[in-house]
Amino acid sequence: MTRVAVVTGGNRGIGFCIVKQLSKQFDGVIILTARDEKQGADACAKIKGDGTADIESHQLDITSQENIAQLKDHVKEKFGGLDVLVNNAAILIPSSSGISYASNAELCVKTNFFGTLDVCKAMFPLLRDQARVVNVSSLMGSLKIVDPSLQKKFNSPKLTVNECVALMNKYVSDVKAGKAKENGWPDENSVQSPAYSMSKLGVTVLTTVMAKELDSKRGILLNAVCPGWCRTDMGGPKAQRSPETGARTCVYAALLPPNQTSPNGRLLRDEKIWQWKQLVLRNVEGYEGRRNDLIFCGSEGQQHVVFFPGDIQNYADEMDKNWKQWDLETIAKLLDKRFPNSFIWVVRPSRYHIKTFSCYNNFVEANLFGVPDHRNTEYGALLHLKALITSGVRQVLDIPEKEEDITSDFPIIIIGFSKGCCVLNQIIHELSSVTTGIDARLNDFVSRISAMYWLDGGHSGEANTWITDEKYLYYLAKHIPSIRVHVTPYQIKDWTRPWIGKEEKIFVDKLKALGANVKVREHFGDKDPSLFYHFKLLESF
């Protein structure tokens, strides 16, 4: 049986490089398609003899149902099936073309989204067991380009292909009616190449939806790939990447080994899963009317990971340019890589004093600068955290109020960084009330906490950066299975705040004496105390 691969838009740019690289690695026939028959034949002639695979060209305009049907019939009659499908054909109409936004949106969505969908519908019945499908997409098609209400729809685990189609048609019709911004879509001034970006958001979402509908027993894998900004006719001469580099991950996804189950339904870049399902949930309701913003990241979750950031950290557009690489959205992506198969929740502080000092007043009593006061052990940090996670899950997964939270038995990892550790310290103070039966509402929630991480804890107060009272540490040691402490010289060797290092040592020593599963690691110990390495810990813990 002859193996067969089809690459649409294979006559130039990234598509040409995909065919060229496949020709050296794919044992079979590669069908290079192009809108222009002569250009396709010329491209084949350039590659033939350079690899081991047989290459043939086929005329295909992915916006033509007749062309698509002809390709399907050709593959079916000549080969009987299909092993690799790379949907690469696409257009980008530059703003300099003078074409209206409405026409641009219609053309881009028709070609990039509906063309890809129509090819998939036609060719999927020909896919053999262990086939690989690659939809070339772009990080420009991020959920960030649409309003939260639309993010929720695109991100819904219940989304169907028909509903995805309806959303893309709604985008085009709203642009034509001049209601794009009003209805939550990008306008001409909000993002670069909005029509192209929306079409690629559609392709990425379509990939995740269609992957779920494939028969898992047949071993077919379907993924989207972002090649990056490449020096092609579409990308222009100033792009950072060569088309050869852009093609590599497409080929990687097209040749994933047999019997592999992952990645599937994911967006890949540089041969790695790229987390594109990042949502900013504004003003999420928690305990007794308290509210916090949540940055969500993750898919195929099997546990919750909750992160409390430190001073300075905020949304990227509200941070000093010197520290923007540690903004909340970036931290969510870092955590997604650090904790795969997790639902990541970055909790934005309740407020910021003079745009710098993080204040977690919804979790712990604190002064103007966010310095905590833990004397109130019934403040409700645990109740608020539980309510926030529940509300966040219901928004992200679109779970009606009357239906059960399907993540209600997920383990929970809680991480505090710098000032964010004050929330973990407040939780320690509240554990005694829960575990002794004083407040039974949280027994199940606390039993799900599998680990707590202290990352370079510290704040501007003059004491109590680490808990040292054995009365509270006893409950931490007894009820939290895993305790991890990661520090840098910035906190524990700061001569202007010597109590931080002393308290951290007491915290660890007492936990060890109480039999806790606690591990400690000092990072960058050979470096002078530095805010740079303090933040760098977020990449290395």
Catalytic residues: 196
Residue-level length of the chain: 541
What proportions of the chain, in percent to the nearest 5, are helix, strand and coil?
Answer: 45, 20, 35
CA distance 350 to 360: 5
- SS3 for 124-135 is HHHEEEEEEEEE
CA triplet 358, 364, 367: central angle to 5 degrees?
Answer: 60
CA distance 72 to 489: 63
Query: What are the structure tokens assigned to 114, written together?
Result: 């509906």
Direct distance between the N- and C-terminal alpha carbons of the chain, in angstroms, rounded to an integer = 50
Q: In whole angstroms, what separates CA 16 from the centre of its chain?
A: 29
CA distance 45 to 364: 70
CA distance 487 to 477: 20
Alpha-helical (H) ranges within 398-513 are 421-435, 443-447, 470-479, 489-492, 498-513
Collapsing DSSP to helix, strand or coil, 324 comes out as helix
Residue given tokens 């992915």 in the structure block:
62
Residue given tokens 């044992």 in the structure block:
27
DSSP 523: -
Query: H or E element: which one contains 164?
Result: helix 161-176
Q: Kindly list the distances between the CA atom of residue 248 and the CA atoms of 47, 120, 252, 270, in Å, as whole numbers in the listed order.
A: 17, 22, 6, 8
Collapsing DSSP to helix, strand or coil, 29 comes out as strand
Greatest C-alpha distance within the chain? 81
- Is residue 312 left, alpha or beta, with left meaning phi > 0 and alpha meaning psi from -120 to 50? left
